[in-house]
Structure 1
Amino acid sequence: MIPSYFFAHGAPSLVLEEHAYTDLMKQFGANTPKPKAIVLFSAHWEQPVQTIGAATQYSTIYDFGGFQDELYQMTYPAKSDKALSERIQSLFAKHGIESVLDEERGLDHGAWAVLKLLYPDADIPVIALSVNRYLTPEQQYEIGKALGELREQDILIIGSGGTVHNLRRLNWRSNGDMDDWAEAFDNWLQSKLENWDMEALFRYMELAPHANDAVPTSEHFIPLLLAMGTGDVNRQAKLLHRSYQYGNLSLSCWQFN
C-alpha cells in the first residue's frame, strides 16, 4: 500500500522557484515508485457536490494574475482515466457520498503546479477532485477515507492546499523570518496529526492557536483532512517538510501511511 500525501502549493510561482521545498518535490518522483495513476484534491476547485475530473485531455487553467509571463506559457497535458473516474464515483456511492463526473474542466494551478514539480513528464493519468468548504471536518475525513483502498492498487492520492494560507497577512518584504503565530498553529497541527487526534483536529478552529489567522477560509486546509482520511487504516502521519514564505505562507508536505 503506497502512502498518500498533502502538498502545500504556495503561490503559483512555486513551480519556478528553487529552494529546499521544491527540491523535495522534484526528487519525489525519483525517490518513490511510479504510481499507476494520481488522484488529486485541489483547493482551487470548489464545488457544492463532490466532482470528479474525467476530461480525456486536461487543459491548463491559469487561475491567477500578475505573475511571471513564463507561468502563462506552461502546460501540463495530463490525461485522465475514465474507468478510474467511474470507479471513484462508485466508491463514493458505496460510502453514501454524492458525486458527479466533469468531462470538461482542466487542471487549475493547485493541481498542475504541484504535478509539474513531482512528475514533469505528465505521463501518469490524473483524476482531479473538487473540495467543498461547507462540509464539516468529519465529512472531509470521510471523503478521503472512502478512497483509501485505492492505495492498495498503487494509486497515489494527493491533497493540494496549505495549512497556513492567509494572503492578507503575507509580509512581502520578509527576509526569511517566520511569524510566531503561524509557527504556533503549525506546531499544534503537527502534534495532533502525529498522534492522529481526530477529536482535536475536527475542532481545530476552536482549539488551535491563531486558527482564524491561519485558516481564514477553509478551502486550503480541507485537502489536508482529505489526505489524512485516506490513511485511516494505519493512522500514521509524518511531516516531510515545513518552511514559510512571506512570513507565514506555509510550505509543508505530510505523508500518510
Structure 2
Amino acid sequence: MIPSFFIAHGAPLLALENNSYTQFLHQLGQELPRPQAIVLFSAHWESPAQMVSEVEEYETIHDFGGFPEELFRMNYPANGYPELAKEIENIFSHHGISYHMDATRGLDHGAWVVLKLLYPNADIPVVSMSVNPALSPQEQYKIGKALTSLREKDVMVIGSGGLVHNLSILRMDKDDDKVEEWVLEFDEWLKQTVNNWDTETLFDYQNQAPHASKAVPPFGKEHFIPLFYAMGAADNKQTARLLHNSYRYRNLSHSIWQFG
C-alpha cells in the first residue's frame, strides 16, 4: 500500500531553485514506489464544498505575482483521471461527504510546484482536490480517511501546504540558516503529537500548540489543514515519519511527512 504525504510547497520560487529541499524532493520522487495516480489537496484551492477535479488535461495556473518571468513561463501539463474522479465521487457518496465535481480548473502552484519537483515529466495522472478551512479538523480528517482504499490501488494522496506559514512575518531579506525560536518550539510540539498519532491533541492545536497563532494564523490555516487530509488517508495504519524539515526566511517551514 502506497503511503500518503504532507508536502510543503514553500514559495513558488522552489520551482526554479536548486537547494537542499528541491534536491530532496527530486530524490524522493525517484525512490518512492511509482504511483498509478495522485490525489492532491492544495492549500490554494479553497472551497466551502469539497471539490473533486474531473479535468482531462490541466492548464497551469500562475496564481502569484512579483516573481521572475521564467516562473510564469513554466508549465506542468499533467493529465487528469476522470475515472478515478468518478470513483472518488462514489466513495464520498457512500460516506455521506458532500462534494461537487469540477471540469475546468487547472493546477495551482500549491499543486504543480510540488508535482514538478517530484515527477518532472508530468507523466502521472492527477485528481486535484480543494480544502475547506471552515471545517473542523475532524471533518477534514474524515474526508482523507474516506480515500484510504485508494492507496491499496497505488494511488498516492498528498496534502500540499505549509505547517509554519505566516506571510506577514516572513523575513524575505534573511534567507540564511537562522530560525526563530518559537518556530522550533511549535515544530517540536507538532512532531511529538503527529508521531504519537494523538489526533485528539492535534485537532485542538489552536489551544494546545505553543505559538499556534503565529505558526497558523487565522488567515493562513488553509496551509496547515492539508495535514489532516493526508493523515486521514493513512488512518488504517497510523504511522508517521518526518522525512525532511528545513526552513527559509527565518520562519517558513519546509516539512515532508509520510503516513502509513
TM-score normalised by the chain length of structure 2: 0.97
Write the mapping of 1:103-118 to structure 2, written as runs, cut at 5 A.
Answer: 103-118=103-118
Equivalent residue for 1:244, pick from 218, 242, 247? 247
Q: Determine the C-alpha separation between the residues in 2 that align with 1:218 and 1:92.
A: 24
Alignment gaps of 5+ in structure 2: none
Aligned residue type for 1:14: L
Q: Determine the C-alpha separation between the residues in 1 that align with 2:80 and 2:56.
A: 6
1:3 and 2:6 correspond: no
Write the mapping of 1:125-164 to structure 2, written as runs, cut at 5 A.
Answer: 125-164=125-164
Q: Secondary structure at the match of 1:232?
A: coil
Deviation at 1:173?
Answer: 2.5
Q: Secondary structure at the match of 1:159?
A: strand
Q: Determine the C-alpha separation between the residues in 2 that align with 1:59 and 1:96.
A: 31
Name the Cα RMSD after superposition: 0.7
Q: Determine the C-alpha separation between the residues in 2 that align with 1:32 and 1:13.
A: 24
Spell out, residue by residue over 1:109-152, the C-alpha distance to the aligned partner (whole angstroms, 9 max, x if none).
00000000000111111000000000001101101100011000
Aligned residue type for 2:203: F
Q: Secondary structure at the match of 1:153?
A: coil
Q: Secondary structure at the match of 2:193?
A: helix
Q: Determine the C-alpha separation between the residues in 2 that align with 1:125 and 1:173.
A: 37
Q: Secondary structure at the match of 1:233?
A: coil
1:221 and 2:228 correspond: no
Q: Determine the C-alpha separation between the residues in 2 that align with 1:165 and 1:9.
A: 10
Counterpart for residue 55 of structure 2: 55
TM-score normalised by the chain length of structure 1: 0.99
Q: Secondary structure at the match of 2:158?
A: strand
Identity percentage of aligned residues: 55
Deviation at 1:29?
Answer: 2.1
Aligned residue type for 1:54: E
Write the mapping of 1:23-172 to structure 2, written as runs, cut at 5 A.
Answer: 23-172=23-172
Say which is worse superposed, 173-182 or 139-148, in terms of deviation.
173-182
Q: Determine the C-alpha separation between the residues in 2 that align with 1:205 and 1:188.
A: 12
Alignment gaps of 5+ in structure 1: none
